[in-house]
Amino acid sequence: METFKRKKRLLLFIAFALIGVMSTFGQTERTLDFNALLSNFADPPSEYRTAPFMVWNYKVTKSDIARMIDEYKSQGSGAIIIHPRPGLITEYLSDEWFDLYAYAIEKAKEKGMTVWIYDENSYPSGFGGGHVPADMPESFNQGQGLKLEKVMLLPEDIDSYFLCLRKEEDKWIDITGDKASYKGETGDYYLYKKTYYSNSDWYGGYSYVDLMIPGVTEKFNAVTMDGYQKRFGQEFGRSILGVFTDEPEIPSSGGIRWTPLLFDTFKTQWGYDLKTLLPLLDEEIGDWKRVRHDYFSTLLSLFIKHWSKPYHDYCEKHNLKWTGHYWEHDWPNIDSGPDNMAMYEWHQMPAIDMLFNQLNEDSLQGQFGNIRSVKELGSVANQKGFKRVLSETYGGGGWDESLRDFKRLGDWEYVLGVNFMNQHLSHMTLTGARKYDYPPEFSSVSPWWNDYYVVNDYFGRLSMLLSNGIQKNKILVIEPTTTIWCHYSVNNCSSIIWDIGVAFQRFVTKLEMAQVEYDLGSEAIIRGNGSVMNGTLKVGEASYTTVVLPPMMESVDVSTFWLLKDFVAQGGQLIAFSQPKEVGGKASSELSSLLDEPSVIHLTELEPDVVRRYLSDKDFGISYHNGDLYHQRREYKGGELVFMVNSSLDQPTRGIIRMKGTALLKLDALEGKVYGYPSHVSDRGLEASFEIEPCGSLILYVSHKPLEKEYPTEVKFERGTKLEASFPVKVTRLQDNVLPIDFCNLSLKGKDYRNIYFYKAADLAYKAYGFRSGNPWNHSIQYKRNVMDKDTVRSGGFVTTYHFNVVGAADFENIQLVIENSGLFTVKMNGMEIKSIPGTWWLDRHFGVYDIQKSVRSGMNDVEVSINSMSVYAEIEQIYVVGDFSVIPGSDRWSISQVVPTFGLGSWKDQKLPFYSWGMSYSKSYRVDKGNVHYFIQLNKWNGTATEVFVNGEKAGVIFKEPNNLNITPYLKSGENMIDVHVIGSLYNLYGPHYNNPSKGLASPWNWRNVEKPIDPSAYNFIDYGLMEDFDVYSD
């Protein structure tokens, strides 16, 4: 075995030569002056405010652009990320596209907002909406995988195989150039055939591209970014801040991942030939761990060299920040990329996504609860000096996500390292299939939208605080990713990679719960940025006095070994929860000798005593019980900021925080106010007690010197005198009731389909007229105009018929029908043609409204929606009946009745409002004698996405979480005061998903597919929205 001393310089030189000049450190300089931030705390600048995905998913118009930007501004966002997405009709990257973009930039500037470019037509980034494969066939036509076939005799089509190996004893020989001479000769043959990415409508009819081929990224930037640069280059770095890239990847097309440069690069980097060792990527014999390690290291260097570095350099040259994310949640699966964390250092603003609303701290590939994923991002920020790091958040969490959920999810990722919120997503329209594209929806369509400013302002303030100061974690936990490489096989993956992943996930979760302050380390980043000085391991701008090898780590890289050797020799604290015996996948006596050094600490479990002795800070500590507590600490000039989060849904957390300092402040990021916070000095330092409610947070600032001014004490609710209302609560429905109808009969080209789900009906209609994948606006994108160019049908359409039942009399004062894209269709109600009301819409501006008061009848009603000539716009969708009526269950369907109950407390669904999604008002009047007292409203049992409180017609505030009270003193007058409490629902009860037993907290387009038959009304899983118990008003 060669010694590492002979290989050390060679390997590091090769790594740098392949990657090129390392990425530059930092972005704009952080502010360390805490007092300077306080002046902007109430109203943080737009740079710290959120940036929703502004989804362009229809025929884009200036009026829609202006409307959407106005909405974002009104609710406190500071930027937009313009995101092309399925449903887009306007031609991507056309002159019209850039004209509309110019308009969006100007409207954003008028509102004091900035713009970010989303670099792809949907995702994953790299294919340029089909333009890259169209212009550069070599980006996809050379193959992306090698599929293995083992045979004893060479087949007749042997010439179709790319690589042919023959096993002789314990090695393989390459017979590719002489394969004809082996025909008919029995042997142990390993044959590799190229595989290719398949064409798909998702890629505009082309396939994805190979991002490891030289020139592909440059072509991508040329077809995508150059158009923006030519039109708006003068705005780069000013009103256009950067570029968002989404899930670029290097998956195999089948078999092991191959790319044209693989074998030559491997040999240059590692000094031996991969071709004749290719079987070791599947078989565990010989030097298989070393070969796999070196193979994945080569893929990573190719990915960085040919994707990350050109893109990074393009953005540097053009004064843009490159943000976006990879497949960080797939780990320990590395099919999409060998080391996602290693990619982050090449971004000026690295990012992750954190989707859905299902807390799971055990799942390796979860989203909310996946501590590793978020800590990687925050750690890279500390190591590379990035001021801002972004998260694409909330997508797919469902229509029912509430303001409480939004805060809880955001708090969790912020405390772990995020400081820039990107909401997923805000559609231009919900027309057709677009409404099922990973709700929730951040626009006025959502019933809670007018209250969202509370959450948006909160995260603007929090982003400002967490983007400045410095987080100085002194402990580095090295990730076991290179150990994963040693075991990973695309074709025959060992279960040990999942065991390693589970062990690591549990380890970092324990660290968080024990309030240990640490960073994670990618060995690729450590290799390029690591050094040892005076017993400290420096990784870029971060310095670590303790390094931890986590459980089940078996191998480290050569460069890591040398750094650890120096680190231990200089007195650094190395803690080993495992005993790795390999360097680069090869057994190493030198590593064993290093770990046998007396100063190396060997541990097996992360017990409390271990944390206290080796992983705690003598000048800082948090003790607590109950809840699900996380914290982050940041240093400022003259003090420290501590952000604490309780992610528990139902348990408060209580505890004591201890730190160095003289005085404490509480920063209320929901209200934008600063208060003094009670504390006392003990022999252990400054101490303070805290209690954080479920889904709550606490921001404290400890000053290291006396405060320059006195801050007020927070007025807290204490139950004093309960006021008596002047009359019992009066309950009012704020909008019309609704009945959606999602099954229909379809007559299509002489065939009749009865009682089928609208989704299936739409696919049948589109396929009948030449759209092979069904609805083209559902799961495909346009390359140029290749969807619109199919809109050539001049005769032949379809007829859909919907039914709804009226129980009792049909003498409705207010009843209407709603049909999407109503201008396309002929609509008949019970055989009578009806016309939509001009200029009137419901929910979405493309949802037309029909007055059916005169045509509705008792019993079964038929609504016929037809089109004579099929149109590409003619999506068959559910229809809606809206008005002043009740919705009641029957044996096999929902019906409506004109009898409307007197509403009261309790669930809306039990008051004949099962699909109702908006708000109910609960009103009482109180006589108040104003004096030197405070008045609070207290909600008791309720359920909704938010609650609005109005006093004498003026909005006093929003309640959306514990402790469910609000100080209403400033809004009261002496005498009678009307208090209206509006409990707000969500579109979940309208849109579900209601079929196939969907899990809560995850809503993807697939939840609205594959529905075969209606379900009984009793099988619907509605949410119980409403005020379940009356509210109270107290004086202190």
The per-residue pLDDT for range 428-460, each reduced to its tens digit, is 999 999 999 999 999 999 999 999 999 999 999
* Same domain (yes/no): 524, 603: yes
> Which helix H or strand E contains 282, and what residues bound it?
none
Percent of the chain at pLDDT > 70 equals 97
Residue 697: CATH number of its domain: 2.60.40.1180
Could you report the per-residue pLDDT of 101-118, keeping only the tens digit for each? 999 999 999 999 999 999
Does residue 41 form part of some domain?
A: no
Does residue 5 form part of some domain?
A: no
Residue 801: CATH number of its domain: 2.60.120
* Same domain (yes/no): 745, 871: yes
Q: Is pLDDT at 19 greater than 50 in this prediction?
A: no
Q: What pLDDT is stored for residue 22 in this prediction? A: 38
Q: Is pLDDT at 952 greater than 60 in this prediction?
A: yes
Percent of the chain at pLDDT > 90 equals 94
Could you report the per-residue pLDDT of 367-421, keeping only the tens digit for each? 999 999 999 999 999 999 999 999 999 999 999 999 999 999 999 999 999 999 9
Does residue 268 form part of some domain?
A: yes
Burial class (CB in 10 A: 0-12, 13-18, 19+), 692: buried
* Same domain (yes/no): 123, 253: yes
* Same domain (yes/no): 178, 266: no
Domain count, the chain: 6
* Same domain (yes/no): 544, 626: no
Q: Which of 485, 548, 558, 491 is closest to 514 using CA atoms?
A: 548
CA-CA distance, 11 to 4, in Å (whole number)?
10
Kindly indicate the confidence band of residue 362, based on its pLDDT and cuts at 50, 70 and 90: confident
* Same domain (yes/no): 609, 592: yes
Q: Is pLDDT at 23 greater than 90 in this prediction?
A: no
Q: What is the mean pLDDT of residues 340-358?
A: 98
Query: What are the helix (H) ranges across 835-974?
Result: none
Q: What pLDDT is stored for residue 600 in this prediction? A: 99
pTM passes above 0.85? yes
Domain that holds residue 704: 620-712
Q: What is the dihedral of CA 461, 462, 468, 469, to 10 degrees?
A: 120
Q: Is pLDDT at 5 greater than 60 in this prediction?
A: no
Final residue of a domain: which of 467, 495, 510?
A: 467
Kindly indicate the confidence band of residue 493, based on its pLDDT and cuts at 50, 70 and 90: confident
Q: What is the mean pLDDT of residues 612-635?
A: 98
Could you report the per-residue pLDDT of 320-336, keeping only the tens digit for each? 999 999 999 999 999 99
Q: Is pLDDT at 21 greater than 60 in this prediction?
A: no
Q: Is pLDDT at 173 greater than 60 in this prediction?
A: yes
Q: Is pLDDT at 9 greater than 50 in this prediction?
A: no
Does residue 15 form part of some domain?
A: no
* Same domain (yes/no): 418, 483: no
* Same domain (yes/no): 341, 413: yes
Q: What pLDDT is stored for residue 900 in this prediction? A: 87
Does residue 4 form part of some domain?
A: no
Kindly indicate the confidence band of residue 981, based on its pLDDT and cuts at 50, 70 and 90: very high
Could you report the per-residue pLDDT of 813-872, keeping only the tens digit for each? 999 999 999 999 999 999 999 999 999 999 999 999 999 999 999 999 999 999 999 999
Could you report the per-residue pLDDT of 124-145, keeping only the tens digit for each? 999 999 999 999 999 999 999 9
Final residue of a domain: which of 444, 467, 490?
A: 467
Kindly indicate the confidence band of residue 28, based on its pLDDT and cuts at 50, 70 and 90: low
Residue 939: CATH number of its domain: 2.60.120.260
CA-CA distance, 912 to 894, in Å (whole number)?
10
* Contact indicator for 215, 307 with CB cutoff of 8 Å: no
- Phi-psi region for residue 774, left (φ > 0), alpha (ψ -120 to 50) or beta? left
Could you report the per-residue pLDDT of 222-274, keeping only the tens digit for each? 999 999 999 999 999 999 999 999 999 999 999 999 999 999 999 999 999 99
* Same domain (yes/no): 550, 536: yes
How distant, in Å, are the alpha carbons of 58, 100, 236 from that of 117?
18, 13, 10
